[in-house]
Amino acid sequence: MKSINNNYHNEIIVRVPLHVYGLWFPSINEDPLYTGSLGAGINLSIYLEARLEKENSKPRILLNDRDVLKNHVEFLCRKYSLCNSIRAYSPIGLGTGFGVSAACLIAYSIISSIAQNKNITLERATWPAHVAEVYYKTGLGDVISEFYGGAEIRTKPGPPGIGSIEHILLKKNYEIIAVVLEGKEPTPIMLSRIKPEYYEKNKKLLEKLLNSPSLENFFELAHEFTRGLFSYDEVTQLLNRIKNKTISYYRKKQALLILPEPEWIHDIIENFESLGLRVFKTKISHVGVEIVYSP
């Protein structure tokens, strides 16, 4: 395990990749550290960046100048004495399916641990973030996924250092198009409407992915799984003119990820921009969480 460098924290910047599930099913334990989700997803080269807000003593997370996740912060302050303030920026907001709440809480937990000179490993510094996500049902596997990066398969529930993941070995540096669809759906509401028996389907799909771990296979299996959870009518209409220019795609909440035919990337982006939607040309982030220390 890596340990946190506490010697230089005059300026700490934490970068966390945003993450989109494609397959998941909950694995619940009485201990939140052993609770999580098994499944798969991809981390994107779209990052949340955060730093310590020294001029404000009130514990909070300012995301794009908005005070967010107030209950989570109060919980972390009360339970773990992580009572700092951070300022974060993300090009994509909360409630859209890109794992932004986990990214905020990872940054908050790590920055607070460094600012308070805690002598712990980097993995353990993320445990409060994972517990808060589990407690408030805002995510079960995003913390460990974003921590390690890549196109991941979660094989054991829990945060970094307890849970386990494997990575899909990618054949090339794939380009991905990420689209933010209109609307929002908080994760607790999404989870509440999924029936337990539906997750049985995911177990079979996850086994297929483990038997043939490729990005193309992941997209196809994610598409099959999420079709029963989210409306694809809107997506079908949006892709009407360009579907033959894509290899595959899937939707999670308001996150639409497209694996494009490389020669048609510009056309696909132009199509979504003409419809007034936010679109990002991105790649898979293999880095995971990064900490930048300034002297």
**Considering the entire predicted model, what is its pTM?**
0.94
User: Residue 262 has what DSSP assignment?
Assistant: G
Question: Counting beta carbons within 10 angstroms of the beta carbon of residue 31, is it exposed (0 to 12), middle (13 to 18) or buried (19 or more)?
Answer: exposed
Three-class SS state of 118: coil
User: Residue 32 has what DSSP assignment?
Assistant: G
- Which pLDDT value is given to residue 198? 86
For residue 188, count other CB atoms closer than 10 A to its CB: 10
- Give the fold, CATH level 3, of 11-168+285-294: Ribosomal Protein S5; domain 2 (3.30.230)
- Supply 2's token pair: 């890596």
- Give the residue carrying structure tokens 């020669």: 263
CA-nearest of 102, 90, 89 to 36 is 102
* Residue 202: its H or E element: helix 198-211
- Give the residue carrying structure tokens 């946190």: 4
**Boundaries of every domain in the chain:** 11-168+285-294, 175-283
| Domain spanning 175-283, CATH class | alpha beta
User: Residue 63 has what DSSP assignment?
Assistant: E
User: For 177, how many CA atoms within 13 A lie in the half-sphere containing its CB?
Assistant: 28
* Residue 142: its H or E element: helix 142-148
- Which pLDDT value is given to residue 2? 57
Q: Tens place of pLDDT for every residue, the chain, 295 residues?
A: 555 555 444 689 999 999 999 999 999 999 999 999 999 999 999 999 999 998 777 999 999 999 999 999 999 999 999 999 999 999 999 999 999 999 999 999 999 999 999 999 999 999 999 999 999 999 999 999 999 999 999 999 999 999 999 999 999 999 999 999 999 888 888 888 888 888 888 899 999 999 999 999 999 999 999 999 999 999 999 998 898 999 999 999 999 999 999 999 999 999 999 999 999 999 999 999 999 987 6
- Which pLDDT value is given to residue 8? 44
